[in-house]
Amino acid sequence: MIHTVVSGDTLYKIAQMHNTTVEELIRVNGLTRPNDLVIGQNIFIPTNTSQNGNYTVQRGDTLYNIARRYSIPLQDLINANPQIQNPNLIQIGQSIIIPNTKPNIEVNGYAIANISQETLDRTLPYLTYLSIFSHQAKADGTLTPLYENSLISNAYSGNVAPIMVVTNIGENGGFDSDLASTILNNQSIQNTLINNIISTLNEKNYYGVDIDFEYLYPQDRDSYITFLRNLKARLVPLGKTLSVAVAPKYRDNQEGLLYEAHDYKAIGEIADRVIIMTYEWGYVYGEPMAISPLSEVEAVISYAVTRIPSQKILMGMPNYAYDWKVPFVQGDVANTITNTRALEIAIENGANIMFDNRAQAPYFNYTDSNGVPRVVWFDDAKSTMARLQLVTKYNLAGVSYWTINNFYPVNWAVLDSMFNVKKVV
């Protein structure tokens, strides 16, 4: 349940209104300034459920509104509570069994190797896979080293499958089209790379590998598919998995260096999981807008499921916000901030938070200390819930977060309220 702050609201008032506590609202929403709320702020209301799936009836409750609160069919709730002789008559303080009807999904989290131990520990319970970013392929087929042994060990300790990420990031720090082309069009180099991937998987006991090759030349489309097919053939006897990250496309023949070499149908036939990077519509060098507008994300997913089996798809989820100068001028660069910091900026500047209904995303305007007007687009409980509903709507395998290097409590609280996280190790 989401409560949108209006004038005069306090956490105490909201807690009383929704039969919860101030402490619980602070915890699940990750509020760093709980005494300061801003108009338009969306507060996630946790349901009053104990670990054994029981709910204590509060004043004004009916079975109907309890079922709505937990997003379960009324008849399922009635069936789970045969001790209730009259479904229209329940008593304050009565214990109601809440059946666990949440679907099981897979959750991948990309982690940069410098993630803090505290953030990792807090996030692992919500993950199926930990994709450690990244081993970079070199022009001779070797891989850059990555000191990730402690992350792999932590992942297994948390029943999370560690995934080796291989990228075509070049020496300049960006995805390198020429580097990828060199590898993909030389069978000897390609074989060397595959051998090095297999060697690293075995040596470090990875569960599988994720290939994240971006900005490939259109003419390398078939060579890329051949590479993935050859890699998959080597992984199968080892029991290792293959996931592939792809750009967010609306159609087969979508133009652009980011899109053309990513053949959804062919990749979907080869890979065990396809991670669709459904973010960066609003990006650091572009005009201010939502990072993952629901309308665009759904357009991509509705196309993707016609080319890739839906149960292979992990939908991308961003875990960051952007702060732009306005009006936007070509060449301006947005500041990358956390969603938590975005809310703090709104509070510090007394900004009202607005919500774009088409994008299903919050934003606000403020003026910085230098007198420069700015706009921030970020994610909150409401926008997160809206996108996660696509997982159920399109029967997807789950979601993939870029990145998990900062912990945003309300994201995980919303996800936990909607799904059970599948564990594969």
Question: What tens digit of pLDDT does each residue of 50-66 get?
Answer: 445 789 999 999 999 98
The token duo for 197 is: 């991937």
Q: Are 160 and 179 in a shared domain?
A: yes
Q: How much is the pLDDT for 52? A: 53
**Confidence band of 48 (pLDDT split at 50, 70, 90):** low
The pLDDT tens digits of the residues spanning 326-382 come to 999 999 999 999 999 999 999 999 999 999 999 999 999 999 999 999 999 999 999
**Confidence band of 120 (pLDDT split at 50, 70, 90):** very high
Q: Are 274 and 392 in a shared domain?
A: yes
Q: Are 75 and 28 in a shared domain?
A: no
Q: Which of 44, 129, 99, 74 is nearest to 385 (CA)?
A: 44
Q: Are 222 and 274 in a shared domain?
A: yes
Please answer whether residues 151 and 200 qualify as being in contact, where contact means their C-beta atoms are separated by less than 8 angstroms: no
In terms of C-beta density within 10 A (0-12 exposed, 13-18 middle, 19 or more buried), how is residue 145 classed? exposed
Q: Are 90 and 163 in a shared domain?
A: no
215 pLDDT higher than 90: yes
Please answer whether residues 40 and 3 qualify as being in contact, where contact means their C-beta atoms are separated by less than 8 angstroms: no
Q: Are 61 and 41 in a shared domain?
A: no
Q: What is the DSSP letter of 59?
A: T
The token duo for 373 is: 């007007």
Query: Catalytic pick from 106, 214, 260, 298?
Result: 214
Cα–Cα distance list, 32 to 28, 44, 112 (Å):
11, 15, 24
Helix, strand, coil share (%) of the chain residues, nearest 5: 35, 20, 45
108 pLDDT higher than 80: yes
The pLDDT tens digits of the residues spanning 162-177 come to 999 999 999 999 999 9
Give CA 274 to chain center in angstroms.
14
Q: Are 13 and 87 in a shared domain?
A: no
Q: How much is the pLDDT for 51? A: 44
Q: Are 313 and 404 in a shared domain?
A: yes
Average pLDDT over residues 128-141: 98
Examine the fold and report which residue of 84, 99, 114 is the final residue of a domain before the chain moves on: 99
User: Number of structural domains, the chain?
Assistant: 3
The pLDDT tens digits of the residues spanning 227-270 come to 999 999 999 999 999 999 999 999 999 999 999 999 999 999 99
Q: Which of 133, 279, 105, 319 is nearest to 210 (CA)?
A: 133
Q: Are 272 and 372 in a shared domain?
A: yes
Q: How much is the pLDDT for 136? A: 98
Query: 273 forms bridges with which residues in the sheet?
Result: 243
The pLDDT tens digits of the residues spanning 276-289 come to 999 999 999 999 99
Range of the domain at 378: 104-421
Q: How much is the pLDDT for 72? A: 82
Q: Are 80 and 204 in a shared domain?
A: no
- CA pair distance 259, 340, nearest whole angstrom: 32
In terms of C-beta density within 10 A (0-12 exposed, 13-18 middle, 19 or more buried), how is residue 34 classed? middle
Return the CATH number at 371.
3.20.20.80
- CA pair distance 390, 398, nearest whole angstrom: 10
106 counts as catalytic: no
Return the CATH number at 19.
3.10.350.10
Q: Are 412 and 307 in a shared domain?
A: yes
Q: Where are the beta strands (DSSP E) in 57-128?
A: 95-97, 104-112
Q: How much is the pLDDT for 70? A: 78
Q: Are 139 and 225 in a shared domain?
A: yes
Average pLDDT, the chain: 96
The pLDDT tens digits of the residues spanning 139-161 come to 999 999 999 999 999 999 999 99
Q: Which residues contact 262 (CB under 8 A, 6 or more apart)?
A: 216, 221, 246, 247, 249
